[in-house]
Amino acid sequence: MEVLASFIQNILDLGAAVFLPFVIFILGVAVRMKVGKAFSSGLTLGVAFVGISLLITFIMGNVGEAAKQFTQNTGIQLKALDLGWPPALGLCWQWKYAFIMFPVQIGINLIMLFLGLTSTLNVDMWNVANKIFNAFLAATVTGSAVIGFLFAAATIVMELKCGDYTKHQVRELTGIPGISLPHPMFISNVFYYPLSRLLDFILPAKSNINATNLKNYIGVFGENHVMGFIIGTLIGLLGGYGVGASFMLGIQAGTALTLFPLVSKLFMTALTPLSDAANTFIKKRFPGKEIVIGLDWPILAGNPEIWVTIILTIPVALGVAMVLPGNIVFPFGNLMGPSIVAPIFLATKGHLIKMLIISYLTVPILCWSASDFAPMLSQLALENGAQLPDGQLMAWWGMDISEVRWIFVNSLDGRTPFLLGVALFVVLSVFYFKWMRKEEADALVRMAR
Amino acid sequence: MKNIIVACGGGVATSGAVASKINTELEALGLSHKAKAEAVDIKSLELFARTADIYVSITPMPGANHDDFPIPVLNGIPFLTGVGKDEIMEKLVKLI
């Protein structure tokens, strides 16, 4: 027994890039993958970890260094560079209890289905990572993994309910029957939907613009390498680099933003056999029951309003980040992230003007929440072997449910003013589900016409 | 070798899952040497469409038509929900 314990401890000490492939291999064989394929899957995960560290070190070494120069030149304290969701959601798999989140999510979902508390069967196993991230944050500030899992469990219940209560509206928007969107990002609509209703009073009734044409003009800025180049060059110029060196920095930034998703894809490739096995497991237990399939957000990604809003938020985000007191994050890698705008799209039913206003209003909270969580995220990156320049941090700006994570995690951290936010969230939730019941009924009526 | 692309918001999670499902199906049909699916970022879709042969869309919009898209477009939602997957696979195989 002791030999086994020390053997396991030795493997754990080797770091996530070595021991998690073991975990995937063993789990893969357990769900009856062929040994060779399970081995390949496991190694893919190791490659993903090393790849993501490599990119973090690369981007922090050039763009991070320039951002540091910028800080020294101007006195504007933005010492944390936003690297977007790929490193954050990738790295959180190395949290000690990460893999337990699979059975937790599936278990809660099945129990709620059996008890008739939800009609959604969530088959989106990728976003287990978002719940792991929640648990990691809560566990880090409280020092208790149990509290971490309780926070994650509450998120799972809430996202299923939010999926249930918007499924007809989603069908109306996408034309796909039998699905819902139980992604945690849509929990934010507890805040965004009332804002959207409030804007109805302020804005004239016919005040929308067509996003399709607009997207044809500005869509090119949304491409990862183009956006990376522009922001990278900008950071270089602000950092006092010469024009040529700034262009080089722009290309490097474009390279990093193009490669991040490619490396993240490796996490997906490694985890797909497991998520397939999990899905077969749960689907077998629900033959013929009246259920909707819970999917990830990208079924909304064809709507140009989402990309137009994201692109038009970027200058505001950069401007606010420079002057906002308490912000230490330079928004960069996640400027094109959909985590905030996709739920706003649903809350406003794609009303572009309202989407822009709500998106602008969220910017300060995106900055503060990313600032608060940057040290925890940087610690995770360092543990995975990435290198950060002295005094620099990495951050995830514009993360999913930024405001929810911000108020709950800070409350758990003992910062009592944030309890007001929690109270507001609870009260608004009650109203939100009431409003959604009406919206769902209206959507059904419109579709029946 | 036909190049099939699947696009989503980041070219990672949803599109990656669908691409891997298509590849598994192709392998089961013994067609893995004739076609391969790949996940791409929808923001750069036009760039990828230039070198691809078939586009499997998982970002439907009611009323949208794909007649002016340079390559054939198939509805990939069945790969996510499981409903109607065989029909769409048949269509895909015909294009290969």
Mean pLDDT (chain B, rounded): 89
Using beta carbons and an 8 Å cutoff, which residues of B are at the interface with A? 7-17, 20-21, 39, 41-44, 47, 57-62, 64, 77, 80-83
Q: Is any Cβ of chain B less than 8 angstroms from the Cβ of A36?
A: no
Q: Please determine, looking at this structure, whether the domain spanning B2-95 carries the CATH number 3.40.50.2300.
A: yes
3-state secondary structure of A417: coil
Q: Is any Cβ of chain B less than 8 angstroms from the Cβ of A447?
A: no
> What residues in A contact B7, CB-CB < 8 Å?
301
Contact between residue A187 and residue A433 where contact means Cβ atoms under 8 Å apart:
no
Report whether pLDDT(A45) > 70: yes
Report pLDDT for A287: 58
Q: What is the pTM for the complete model shown? A: 0.89
The partner residues of A330 in beta bridges, in order of sequence, read A81
Q: Residues near A199 by Cβ (< 8 Å), separated by ≥ 6?
A: A348, A354, A357, A358
List of E strands, A17-85 = 80-82
Mean pLDDT (chain A, rounded): 91
Distance CA B10, CA A337 (A): 8
Nearest to B83 among A127, A178, A225 (CB): A178
What are the extents of the domains in chain B? 2-95
> What residues in A contact B20, CB-CB < 8 Å?
268-269, 272
Nearest to B9 among A268, A293, A301 (CB): A301
CB contact under 8 A, A298 and B16: no
Average pLDDT rounded to a whole number, residues A347-353: 93
Contact between residue A46 and residue A362 where contact means Cβ atoms under 8 Å apart:
no
Give per-residue pLDDT as tens, A213-266.
888 888 888 888 999 999 999 999 988 999 999 999 999 999 999 998 888 888
For chain B, report the end-to-end CA distance as a whole number of angstroms: 9
Nearest to A223 among B20, B44, B60 (CB): B44
Average pLDDT rounded to a whole number, residues A31-58: 90
| Side chain identity at residue A29, one-letter code | V
B19 to chain A, minimum CA–CA distance in Å?
10
Q: Is any Cβ of chain B less than 8 angstroms from the Cβ of A264?
A: yes
Report pLDDT for A176: 85
Report the residue of B14, B66, B69, B85 to disrupt the A interface, i.e. the one with the largest count of A CBs within 10 Å: B14
The partner residues of A393 in beta bridges, in order of sequence, read A80
The partner residues of A97 in beta bridges, in order of sequence, read none
Distance CA A413, CA A321 (A): 24
Distance CA A168, CA A205 (A): 24
Nearest to A298 among B8, B61, B62 (CB): B8
Distance CA A22, CA A52 (A): 19
Report the residue of B12, B41, B88 to disrupt the A interface, i.e. the one with the largest count of A CBs within 10 Å: B12
Burial of A290 (0-12, 13-18, 19+ CB in 10 A): exposed
Q: Is the ipTM of this complex over 0.85?
A: no
The partner residues of A292 in beta bridges, in order of sequence, read A120
Q: Which of A139-143, A287-291, B61-65 has the highest mean pLDDT?
A: A139-143
Give per-residue pLDDT as tens, A274-301.
777 777 777 777 655 668 889 999 889 8
Contact between residue A374 and residue A61 where contact means Cβ atoms under 8 Å apart:
no
* φ and ψ of A123, to 5 deg: -105, 10
| Distances from the Cα of A131 to the Cα of A137, A185, A322, angstroms | 10, 11, 31
* φ and ψ of B58, to 5 deg: -120, 15
CB contact under 8 A, A298 and B81: no
Distance CA B4, CA A244 (A): 39
**Closest-CA residue in chain B for A127?**
B13
B39 to chain A, minimum CA–CA distance in Å?
8
The partner residues of A394 in beta bridges, in order of sequence, read A81
List of E strands, A295-355 = 329-330
Strands A80-82 and A393-395: parallel
Contact between residue A397 and residue A334 where contact means Cβ atoms under 8 Å apart:
yes
DSSP string, A284-309: HT-TT---EEE--GGGGTT-HHHHHH
SS3 labels along B10-70: CCCHHHHHHHHHHHHHHHHCCCCCCEEEEEEEHHHHHHHHCCCCEEEECCCCCCCCCCCCC
Average pLDDT rounded to a whole number, residues A52-81: 90
Q: Choose among A44, A20, A36, A5: nearest CA to A99.
A: A20
The partner residues of A80 in beta bridges, in order of sequence, read A329, A393
